[in-house]
Amino acid sequence: MRLPVSHSIRLRVGYAETDQMGVAHHAAHLVWFERARVELLREIGASYRELEAHGISMPVREARVRYRGPARFDDLLEVEATLREMRRVSCQFHYTVRQAEGGAPVAEGEITLAFCDASGRPIRNGPDRLRALIEETGTRG
């Protein structure tokens, strides 16, 4: 697998995600990043659910978001996740969120995740197991 590898999803801003400023609350973006991350992993053959079922969890170690423009109720957004870097005990994803129509920037950010076992202890063979899953797919990256 060659990095970076990217995948985009579309989602609509839900009413529950707005706050009284009339835009999506700033915590919602982390949830959108997570949705895009899960779909990117699925796309490259590594279901996050399967990972957990095999005793690997990927808790978030660091999150960073730069908010560029409003995302309002019912806006259709495009969220792109990019797996940028894979280290021994962690990996980093980059994200961009844009309005699906017109492409106006909404946010960008980075999430660093650790590789841990089921009880939350860091493991070192996470990247290998993730890569193994990814390489089984054969067709990407």
Pick the closer one to its own copies by CB: 63 or 132: 63
Return the residue matching tokens 């990247």: 127
Report in angstroms the alpha-carbon separations of 24 from 15, 72, 77, 109. 8, 6, 12, 16
Contact string (CB under 8 A) for its own copies, positions 25-64, x = contact: xxxx-xx--xx--x--------xxx--x----x-xxxxxx
117 lies in the site for its own copies, by CB under 8 A: no
**Contact assessment for residue 31 and residue 81, using Cβ atoms and an 8 Å cutoff:** no
132 lies in the site for its own copies, by CB under 8 A: no
Q: What angle do CA 66, 26, 14 make, to 5 degrees?
A: 125
Pick the closer one to its own copies by CB: 2 or 7: 7
Taking contact as CB under 8 A, which single stretch among the options 14-22, 76-84, 98-106, 123-131 is the one that binds its own copies? Answer: 14-22
67 lies in the site for its own copies, by CB under 8 A: yes
Residues with Cβ < 8 Å from 2, sequence gap 6 or more? 141
**Contact assessment for residue 26 and residue 54, using Cβ atoms and an 8 Å cutoff:** no
Return the residue matching tokens 């797919």: 137
Q: How far is the CB of 130 from its own copies (least distance, A)?
A: 17
Task: List residues binding its own copies (CB under 8 A).
Answer: 12, 14-16, 18-23, 25-28, 30-31, 34-35, 38, 47-49, 52, 57, 59-67, 70, 73-74, 120
